[in-house]
Amino acid sequence: MTGLSDRPAAASGTFAIGGDVPVHRLGFGAMRITGPGAWGEPADRGEALRVLRRVVDLGVTLIDTADSYGPFVSEELIAEALYPYPEGVLIATKGGFTRQGPDRWAPVGRPEYLRQCVEMSLRRLRLERIDLYQLHRIDPQVPLAEQLGVLRDLRDEGKIRHIGLSEVTVDELTAAREHVEIASVQNLYNLTSRKYEDVLRRCEREGIAFIPWFPLAMGRLAEPGGDLAEAAARHGVSPSQLALAWLLHRSPVLLPIPGTSKVAHLEDNMSAATLSLPAEDVAKLTALG
């Protein structure tokens, strides 16, 4: 019999994206399986494929990627490793961010380009429908109604199930919801960076998934002798595990997606889902940030 020790991500609980697509809350972000700066092929393609297959073994049912990771490399690796996809696994992807080199990004939200992004992601991922498609960035040069309008059209055509946003403010989220239903928001959020606390609270009130990218930025807190490192030692876990456990306890709509290119690091991260933190410890960690 397979238990939570074999599939630890299942211990993170579930959240229904869009109200009808349940996933385990601790997911996997697939940016780091590409080359440095999210550019090009991974240094060890075999290890990247092993990571993706191990992700599913560990109980992860939310895998987040984007056409700009590589570009295209992450989506292609996911399909190579996992297609045909196990039942219950949601592959979420994003479009609207172009690449000019390592760590270089520029938004393009023209409707014809976004339509092409969706069509090509469907092809690379070998899907007939993308269950969660996220506008990677709002393009300030294109009316928001046009950017979301084409995604709404693609949803109505059956090529997208739910629509999400990335790196948005409360005002942008409110404006977007005037044009289309929003199932998720993916913003920078972690123990030491909480400028989008107001967005998280809005998502809580509206039942919108909040997917924190860069969930493991811990800075000096994780250094030997740092507050997080000392707290982790008391719990007998790694600082990364404690930081992820804090996110899972912070809000029921938080769906952390830690990424890595190594199986050992992946297994360490997923064990965070089994860590129970008393409310007092959660409060202390919150104060650290």
Catalytic residues: 69
Bridge partners of 166, per DSSP, are 186
The DSSP call for residue 86 is P
| Rounded Cα distance, 201 and 230, in Å | 29
Q: Residue 277: which of 249, 255, 257, 251 has the closest Cα?
A: 249
N-terminal to C-terminal alpha carbon distance within the chain: 40
SS (H, E, C) 228-255: HHHHHHHHCCCHHHHHHHHHHHHCCCEC
Q: Residue 212: which of 176, 251, 182, 178 has the closest Cα?
A: 251
SS3 state of residue 26 = coil
Alpha helices in the chain (DSSP H): 45-57, 73-82, 111-125, 144-156, 170-176, 197-206, 227-235, 239-250, 263-270, 279-288
| Rounded Cα distance, 258 and 269, in Å | 7
Distances from the Cα of 259 to the Cα of 65, 190, 224, 266, angstroms: 10, 14, 23, 7
